[in-house]
């Protein structure tokens, strides 16, 4: 019997993922295949993760050359590495204490790199100013929730959260003792975010909790929607009216495929709207080296830009980040490479540009198989088609104690050797079922 | 006015460090020096961090070569890298999805690497078995506190915590809403951990909180004490009797200098004590690639081994780690390199061994300057001498609104260009003052 007899309900709210059960079975199948067990397929295809490198998308040569030279600076004396690679590595290492990626990072990052990041954000936003003091680097975004949640208040802190949404976000909110206020994206409208639905969700929360923040994901994940400028304006107006803090997950900003879609940042729209919005609505915009065209999930790093935050609150955020400061140096370097890539004329530019465009054009062809209905994908890395399951399958799933779409995923895994994740993991309207898979891959099972 | 009007007391408990004020001033001085402002010194010496690389300790060539080859595998085709480097890199990459360090890591790490880690722990502990299922990798150790703390219980969770202790640990405990129960290490006895003091501290907490865990740091940090087998036995007996969960911070296990000192793990002593201790006392032992002879602080990675934990509790730990899983792949690789270094006969062994020993022998010569009293340093990376301040200095500090030892550090910085951190940051007996600095460096200011 453990001394920890009473585990807090918050910790207990963190559940095992349905995906974990599927992944465990996938591992077993992998083993069976390698032992020669006969199956209807020869290899297993994992389409679960937003992880391009695990699916044979090649890392960017420029990025890897610079990072390797930073790890082992002796490489710089070799002329095998292009000049711009060596120069960049030299510059980055010169910003580190002791010239080593093994030294600690100051909690707010390396000032010169953060300065360059702010210039890149300014270019992205058509000249809207970006103050480097408002940029904080971090290996994750959980601290932002810690700041928002107040467990001492008489009412629980509430956070408006999209459905579908990544399950770890839901668990993070719950494990801090806050309440998730779900708002549904409209599948019929290509998973659009509709303000009337925000309104409905907020009303439904009345009395049960104190809503302080609205979490938006644009471009969408797992639903590949890209918000228009007009849609963002409406959300900002709503946040302003209801006094909500905007948490803008914009990590797929470099992954927009839709012909008529364009990524516009919340911060840019806010600035363009002018006062009173532009100087009152509080926004935290998140980006990451894991996503986008770089796909360096294994490096673990990203940043947040804070807009219109009360300096009193920023002070606590600074302290929180000081306490947890764990951004790997190489991830910080990767932010510089992501936001300041090689330019035309640089030795690394031709190869970089070629690989970059190859990644960009891996668009998804909307499938038309029976039993599937898939919204067009405008951005992000995933597709979330609806699956129409026959009543017998739903019954069978119940008998086996599984969610119907988890049951479907398990069959797909067993019979076709394809690993995808079930929609129940991300939330969905009752009676609807979905599967989620990554679009940056060979799409074996849909196209063959 | 922010929408976040009520920041939780837990978050507010995270204070700005006195060190941050000193570091800011140090940055200014750095700038002034580069602008040619005349000072009694030409360069600034930063002795604050447990960060060998920032103080010109060179990283291990073997480690950096393997990591560089993993980042940019094209390097492996060159014969400039030793064979064992190429072989290790090949093996490590073969364990990654897609053969790329850019892919996600499974929440429990890469099974084959964790298996090798468990074998290394077994060797360290003279054959005491180590189950790889009990090893969890993580970029930090904060989740362990999250599991311990229960905010719904009528009494706050209490954690027995040494004084001195790193301030971020204190802040982490408080920010979760738990109570710190301070126990003082005995400076007169070389900062020894004494069970009578644990007893006193526990008594003092009665009624105020519910003590569930005892946090120990061995080898010490910031006080460089190394516990004997007997001392560890006493602590285990105490934990068993009082039903306390043992959090054993053993990150400096490879940094023991004292002639008669030896690192023995809590787990090994526990096993040697036999039943009922060996199968009931719950221990979490932490290690990290940031510390020890490797000093790769910038990589951000470590592991915990859990001993005697209730599988019901391990389940929640697993879920928590799944939720937060952010260990960088390169940090996981570095654990393999730390725990399975080159062996005699390997091409990289001679250079590795030479560098390794150089790091090991940078022992501290106890100073005998007036106004200082310094306990012998047996292990760890820091020294924490007591500073005897004249009443006038204490008065002056009060006038400037500073802690007396922060005031002393500020003078040392201004007048001699040396940055150390004040003892008040780590806790100390009332009326005593200390400074902390790193021993793995050139020791300019003490020896010149």
DSSP string, A205-273: HTTT-EEEEEEEESS-SSS-----HHHHHHHHHHHHHHT-EEEEE-TTTT-B--TT-----HHHHHHHH
Searching chain B, which residue's CA lies closest to the CA of residue A12?
Answer: B316
- Using an 8 Å Cβ cutoff, are A231 and A186 in contact? no
Mean pLDDT of A277-304: 84
| Token digits of residue B316 | 């929640």
Tokens for A293, please give them.
């065209």
Lowest model confidence (mean pLDDT) among A38-47, A289-298, A338-347, B255-264: A289-298
Complex ipTM more than 0.85, yes or no: no
- Kindly report the nearest CA distance between residue B106 and chain A, in angstroms: 10
The answer to whether the CB atoms of B324 and A142 lie below 8 A apart is yes
CA distance to partner chain B, nearest, from residue A111 (Å): 11
The whole-number pLDDT of residue B187 equals 93
Whether residues A152 and B1 touch (CB distance < 8 A) is answered with no
- Shortest CB distance from A49 goes to which of B10, B53, B104? B104
Under an 8 A CB cutoff, do B152 and A9 touch? yes
Query: For residue A443, what pLDDT is reported?
Result: 39
Number of neighbours of residue B354 by Cβ within 10 angstroms: 10
At B219, is the secondary structure helix, strand, or coil? coil
Number of helices (H) and strands (E) in chain A: give both, helices first. 16, 14
**pLDDT value of position A97:** 75
User: Which of B352, B288, B299 is closest to B71 using CA atoms?
Assistant: B299
* B179 DSSP β-pair partners: B158
**How much is the pLDDT for B264?**
97
pLDDT of residue B355: 63
Put simply, whether B78 touches A (Cβ < 8 Å) is yes
Give CA–CA dist A307/A327, Å, rounded.
22
Reading the block at residue B251, the tokens are: 């990150």
Domain B111-326 has CATH 3.60.90.10: no
- Within the 142-171 window of chain B, which residues sit less than 8 Å (CB to CB) from chain A? 142, 146-153, 168, 171
Q: Are residues B168 and A71, on separate chains, in Cβ contact within 8 Å?
A: no
- Helix/strand/coil for B163: strand
């100390």: which residue's tokens? B428
DSSP B98: G
Q: How high is the pLDDT of residue A311? A: 83
Burial of residue A266 (number of CB atoms within 10 Å: 0-12, 13-18, 19+) = buried
A52/B102 Cβ within 8 A: yes
Which of A354-358, A396-400, B257-261 has the largest mean confidence?
A396-400
Question: Are the folds of A9-56+364-447 and A111-339 the same?
Answer: no
pLDDT in tens, A377-394: 788 878 888 888 999 999
Minimal Cβ distance to B313: which of A2, A100, A295:
A2
Q: Give the nearest chain B residue to A80 (CA atoms).
A: B75
**pLDDT in the model for residue A96:** 82
**CA–CA distance, B113 with B119 (Å, rounded to integer):** 10
With a cut of 50, say whether residue A445 has pLDDT above it: no
Residue A48 sits at the vertex; the CA angle it makes with A46 and A49, to the nearest 5 degrees, is 105
- Measure A294 CA to nearest chain B CA, in Å: 9
- Report chain A residues whose CB lies below 8 A from the CB of B24: none
Chain A CB contacts of B148 below 8 Å: 4
Given CB atoms, is B28 within the 8 Å cutoff of chain A?
A: no
Q: What is the CATH number of domain B9-56+370-447?
A: 3.90.1150.10
**H or E stretch at B246:** strand B245-249
Least Cα distance to B93 among B78, B75, B118 occurs for B75
pLDDT of B329: 85
**Structurally, what CATH architecture does the domain formed by A9-56+364-447 represent?**
Alpha-Beta Complex (3.90)
| DSSP conformational letter for A276 | T
Interatomic CA distance for residues B403 and B18, integer angstroms: 9
Q: Is the pLDDT of residue A361 over 60?
A: no
pLDDT per position as a tens digit, A76-120: 887 789 999 999 999 999 988 778 887 777 767 888 999 999 999
A 10 A CB-CB count for B41 gives 14
Q: Which residues contact A106 (CB under 8 A, 6 or more apart)?
A: B23
What are the tens digits of pLDDT across the range B270-324? Answer: 999 999 999 999 999 999 887 766 777 777 788 889 999 888 778 787 777 766 6
pLDDT for res B445: 33
**pLDDT tens, A204-261?**
999 999 999 999 999 998 888 999 999 999 999 999 999 999 999 998 898 887 788 8
| d(CA A63, nearest CA chain B) in Å | 9
**What secondary structure does DSSP assign to B302-357, as a single string?**
EEEEEES--HHHHHHHHHHHHHH----HHHHHHHHHHHS---TTSTTHHHHHHHHH
**Residue B86 with chain A: CB contacts under 8 Å:** none
Contact yes or no for B429/B184 (Cβ under 8 A): yes
8 Å CB contact of B150 and A175: no
DSSP B159: E
Name the H helices within B51-110: 61-71, 83-94
**Nearest in space to B179 (alpha carbons), one of B187, B170, B189, B188:** B170
Q: What is the dihedral of CA A63, A64, A66, A67, to 10 degrees?
A: 110
Q: How far is B138 from chain A (nearest CA, A)?
A: 11
Ranking A372-376, A388-392, A399-403 by mean pLDDT, the lowest is A372-376
Instruction: Assess A291–B contact: CB distance below 8 Å, yes or no.
Output: no
H or E, element range at B136: strand B135-138
Nearest to A245 by CA among B356, B381, B1: B1
Whether residue A446 is predicted with pLDDT greater than 70 in this model: the reply is no
Q: Does A87 touch chain B (CB under 8 A)?
A: no
| CB-based burial label for A77 (10 Å; 0-12, 13-18, 19+) | exposed
User: Where are chain A's structural domains?
Assistant: 9-56+364-447, 111-339
How are beta strands A157-163 and A179-184 bridged, if at all?
A: parallel
Residue A149 has its nearest CB partner, among B8, B78, B309, at B8
Average of per-residue pLDDT across A346-371: 62
B128 and B273 in contact (C-beta within 8 Å)?
no
Is B5 part of the contact surface with chain A (CB cutoff 8 Å)?
Answer: no
What does DSSP assign to residue A1?
-
The total of other beta-carbon atoms located within 10 Å of residue B414's CB is 14
Compute the distance between CA of residue B445 and CA of residue B448 in angstroms, rounded to an integer.
6
Residue A360 has pLDDT above 50, yes or no: no
Among A54, A152, A322, beta carbon nearest to B17: A322
Chain-chain contact of B298 with A244 (C-beta, under 8 angstroms): no
Inter-chain contact A298–B149, Cβ cutoff 8 Å?
no
Please tell me the distance from the alpha carbon of residue A366 to that of residue A375, in angstroms, as a whole number: 8
Q: Do B330 and A299 touch (CB under 8 A)?
A: yes
Q: Does A357 touch chain B (CB under 8 A)?
A: no
Looking at residue A244, what is its pLDDT? 95
- At the second CATH level, the architecture of A111-339 is 3-Layer(aba) Sandwich (3.40)
Q: Say how many residues make up chain A.
A: 448
pLDDT interval class at A366 (50, 70, 90): very low
Q: Read out DSSP for A56-122?
A: TPPPPHHHHHHHHHHHSGGGGGSTTS-HHHHHHHHHHHHTSGGG-TTSPPPTT--HHHHHHHHHHHH
The token pair at B311 is 């599988």
pLDDT at A217: 94
CB contact under 8 A, A97 and B46: yes
CB interface of B with A, residues 208-267, below 8 Å: 212-213, 243-245
What is the torsional sign of CA A427, A433, A438, A439?
negative
B53 in contact with A at a CB cutoff of 8 Å? yes
Say yes or no for a CB contact (<8 Å) between A4 and B147.
Answer: yes
| Residue A152, number of CB atoms within 10 A of its CB | 10
Paired with A437 in beta bridges are A383
Beta bridge partners of A364: none
**Chains A–B, number of C-beta pairs less than 8 Å apart:** 267
Name beta bridge partners: B163: B184
CB-closest option in B15, B57, B326 to A139: B326
- Report the alpha-carbon distance of residue B227 to residue B234 in Å, rounded: 11
A28 interface with B at CB cutoff 8 Å: no
- Nearest CA to B64 out of B89, B83, B87 is that of B89
Q: What is the pLDDT of residue B362?
A: 40
B198 touches chain A (CB under 8 A): no
Residue B143's H or E segment, with its range, is helix B142-148
Instruction: Return the half-sphere exposure (C-beta side, CA atoms, 13 A cut-off) of residue B313.
Output: 25
Retrieve residue A445's tokens: 């099972």
Enter the DSSP assignment of A425.
G
Spell out a b/e string for B53-66, using b for 16 or more CB atoms within 10 Å of the CB, else e: bbbebebbbbbbbb
Measured CA to CA, the distance from residue B178 to residue A384 in angstroms comes to 41
The DSSP call for residue B133 is: G
| Nearest-CA distance B206 → chain A (Å) | 17
* pLDDT for residue B56: 59
Do the Cβ atoms of A67 and B64 come within 8 Å? no
User: What is the pLDDT, as a whole number, of residue A52?
Assistant: 61
Q: Distance between CA B183 and CA B164 in Å, rounded?
A: 9
- Please indicate if any CB of chain B lies within 8 Å of the CB of A411: no
- If you average pLDDT over residues A149-155, what whole number do you get? 79
| pLDDT number for residue A30 | 83
**Using a CB-CB distance cutoff of 8 angstroms, which residues of chain A are in contact with residue B54?**
96-98, 100, 103-104
Residue A6 has pLDDT above 70, yes or no: no
Nearest C-alpha neighbor of A164 from the set A379, A345, A432, A444: A432
Residues of chain B with pLDDT under 50: 358-366, 442-448
């Amino acid at each position: 019997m453990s001394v920890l007899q009473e585990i807090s309900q918050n910790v207990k709210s963190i559940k095992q993922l349905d995906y974990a059960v599927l992944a465990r079975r996938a591992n077993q199948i992998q083993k069976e295949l390698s032992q020669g067990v006969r199956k209807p397929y020869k290899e297993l295809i994992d389409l679960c993760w937003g992880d391009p490198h695990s699916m044979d998308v090649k890392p960017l040569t420029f990025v890897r050359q610079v990072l390797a030279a930073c790890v082992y600076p002796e490489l710089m004396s070799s002329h095998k590495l292009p000049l711009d690679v060596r120069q960049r590595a030299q510059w980055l290492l010169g910003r580190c204490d002791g010239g080593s990626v093994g030294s600690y990072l100051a909690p707010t990052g390396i000032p010169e790199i953060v300065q360059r990041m702010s210039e890149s954000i300014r270019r992205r936003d058509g000249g809207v100013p970006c103050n480097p003091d408002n940029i904080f680097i971090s290996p994750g975004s959980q601290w932002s929730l810690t700041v928002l949640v107040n467990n001492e208040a008489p009412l629980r802190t509430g956070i408006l959260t999209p459905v579908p949404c990544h399950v770890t976000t839901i668990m993070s909110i719950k494990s801090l003792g806050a309440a998730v206020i779900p708002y549904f994206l409209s599948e019929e409208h290509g998973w659009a975010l509709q303000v009337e639905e925000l309104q409905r969700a907020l009303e439904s929360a009345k009395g049960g909790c104190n809503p302080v923040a609205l979490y938006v994901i644009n471009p969408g994940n797992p639903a590949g929607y890209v918000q228009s400028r007009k849609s963002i304006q409406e959300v900002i107006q709503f946040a302003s009216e209801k006094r909500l803090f905007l948490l803008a997950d914009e990590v797929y900003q470099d992954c927009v495929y839709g012909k008529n879609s364009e990524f516009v940042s919340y911060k840019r729209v806010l600035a363009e709207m002018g006062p009173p919005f532009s100087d009152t609505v509080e926004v935290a915009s998140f980006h990451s080296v894991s996503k986008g065209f770089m796909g360096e999930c294994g490096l673990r790093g990203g940043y947040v830009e804070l807009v219109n935050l009360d300096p009193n609150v920023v002070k606590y955020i600074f302290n929180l980040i000081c306490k947890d400061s764990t951004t790997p140096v190489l991830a910080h370097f990767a932010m510089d490479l992501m936001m300041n890539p090689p330019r035309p004329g640089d030795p690394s530019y031709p190869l970089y540009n070629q690989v970059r465009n190859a990644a960009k054009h891996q668009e998804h062809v909307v499938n038309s198989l029976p039993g599937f209905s898939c919204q067009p994908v405008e951005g992000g890395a995933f597709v979330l088609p609806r699956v129409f399951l026959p009543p017998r399958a739903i019954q069978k799933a119940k008998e086996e104690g599984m969610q119907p779409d988890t049951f479907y995923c398990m069959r797909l895994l067993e019979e076709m050797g394809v690993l995808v994740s079930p929609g129940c993991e991300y939330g969905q309207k009752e009676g609807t079922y979905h599967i989620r898979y990554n679009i940056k891959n060979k799409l074996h099972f849909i196209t063959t």
